[in-house]
Structure 1
């Protein structure tokens, strides 16, 4: 075979290979374009209909598979946002309903007492005291509601500084001395001699302790016990507020920090709870860089633990 023939055959082979490659590129380009159009159409359909489906693409193209994967991640995040929005909407409607109930009830009492005094044409000191007490409950509820609203909106400035936790615990316990004595509570306190410091805010911490101690007296009062224990780890400080009352059932444990959550007996007029105290305490603790946890064994021990960031001496 002559060299000219060999060159001719090689030239034909090269032309054929070039044609095959060009054809494959053409098919690949059009196939990729078709798949992208398919993904785009499906995505538009899902977004327009608000569907929870995912984008599926049948291809060996790794780039298209990755594109579909990331689109599905975006759709999953979108679905989570929708679910959270719906959940928050329901929670706010329930909160407004509870607030309406909690304000309407004492206001009805106030108006009732005022009507009796008007009809009798007298000023009854006992009734006046009840009116004043009930009005204070309404103001407390309104104040707590707006406090929570400001906290959740990030509209509250809470500067952090080095706080003597031992001192704050003692101060708050002393403020409840009279009511604890009247109710014949057994009080157990364990505050170490070693001063513990935390990166916190004194006003916020006092509000947290006030709310938790009030909660223990109000809902755990049947146990006639209050314990305050201060302890420290390497990085954190822990304040345990303990009561031995009827506690919190497991089905309620995950909800006690929700806005205006109240158990079935919390509408008892003797308890006068409005469900905002624990929510505010939790929110404040988180803004201090800490947290509040709950561990409850009914009629044995219910423990709310405040966790704060420890600071050096």
Structure 2
């Protein structure tokens, strides 16, 4: 009996020792994990936690910690990108506001310093002041529109839109101007009704922005087209031209805030750099998407995709 009791005591002591060693090992592992998490968080690196263990609960914990670290790194990256974008936007807005305001101030000084100026010359300068003021107001409106879209403050009631009517009405507003400038205008709109899900006012602005963009940057080709098409689940509007197009290195950036091609800063290509960004935000607010493909001087196409509504 004594021998049996001694064996039981030895076994219990062994179990206690093993449990104590396991607890110590767990504490050491947890301290290591804590220090590694603190180090990775403070340095904002893209590292993952690595730990050799057979403990399934600890393995699950490691997976969740690594997922959180990945999310934290993505948040830091997005914040840094947004901060750089905002700095660039503020810089460009300051430049774009300063330029027309300086011109307006120059014209006003000319009018002020020459009270005997001929009426025709005075009228011409006042016209230039008006045009530059409108240009500045348009830029300010674009900036606030984008701010509202990105903050979610802009209400956008969704409804069924007859795409045929919206597309034809929008392109026909430009038809006379385009033909007078020597453009060939191609319109492909099916006769049967096609319905999309969105906001008619927002879609009208999207199409206006894209057509204006094609006129602005695609004038070399003297061709502009609008095509309405569909499949089982979506409707598509293609706005295309055969102008100078967009190089592959720029395609991924054209929808970014204040991103403008280099020649958009000259007098022939006035652009705020917000038009396509606003266009993309409007399309996304309607649950759609916008895509661009371009082969310079051959074909440049902006495609708006919206959900299809059965009639």
TM-score range, shorter chain: over 0.9
SS for the counterpart of 1:216 is helix
SS for the counterpart of 1:260 is coil
Distance in 2 (alpha carbons) for counterparts of 1:224 and 1:50 = 51
Instruction: Label 1:184 to 1:83 Cα distance change in 2 as closer, same or farther (>3 A).
Output: same
Query: So what's the TM-score if we normalise by structure 1?
Result: 0.93
Unaligned runs of 5+ in 1: 1-6
Q: How does 1:132-281 map to 2 (within 5 A)?
A: 132-281=130-279
Distance in 2 (alpha carbons) for counterparts of 1:178 and 1:111 = 35
Unaligned runs of 5+ in 2: none
Instruction: Label 1:187 to 1:52 Cα distance change in 2 as closer, same or farther (>3 A).
Output: closer
Distance in 1 (alpha carbons) for counterparts of 2:149 and 2:46 = 34
Match in the other structure for 2:109 = 115
Instruction: Label 1:270 to 1:74 Cα distance change in 2 as closer, same or farther (>3 A).
Output: same
Shift of 1:13: 3.2
Which of 292, 306, 309 matches 2:307? 309
Q: 1:36, 1:64 within 8 Å by CA — same for their partners in 2?
A: no
Which of 44, 68, 74 matches 1:80? 74
Distance in 1 (alpha carbons) for counterparts of 2:179 and 2:40 = 64
Larger Rg: 1
Distance in 1 (alpha carbons) for counterparts of 2:159 and 2:67 = 41
Compute the RMSD of aligned alpha carbons. 1.7
Q: Which moved more, 1:12-21 or 1:186-195?
A: 12-21
Distance in 2 (alpha carbons) for counterparts of 1:51 and 1:306 = 38
Q: Which moved more, 1:105-114 or 1:216-225?
A: 105-114
Query: So what's the TM-score if we normalise by structure 2?
Result: 0.93
Render the CA deviation track for 1:185-215: whole Å, top value 9, x for unaligned.
Answer: 1000000100111111110000000000000
Q: Which moved more, 1:282-291 or 1:71-80?
A: 71-80
Distance in 2 (alpha carbons) for counterparts of 1:193 and 1:51 = 57
Shift of 1:49: 5.1
Shift of 1:171: 1.0
Match in the other structure for 1:26 = 20
Q: How does 1:88-107 map to 2 (within 5 A)?
A: 88-107=82-101
Shift of 1:38: 2.7
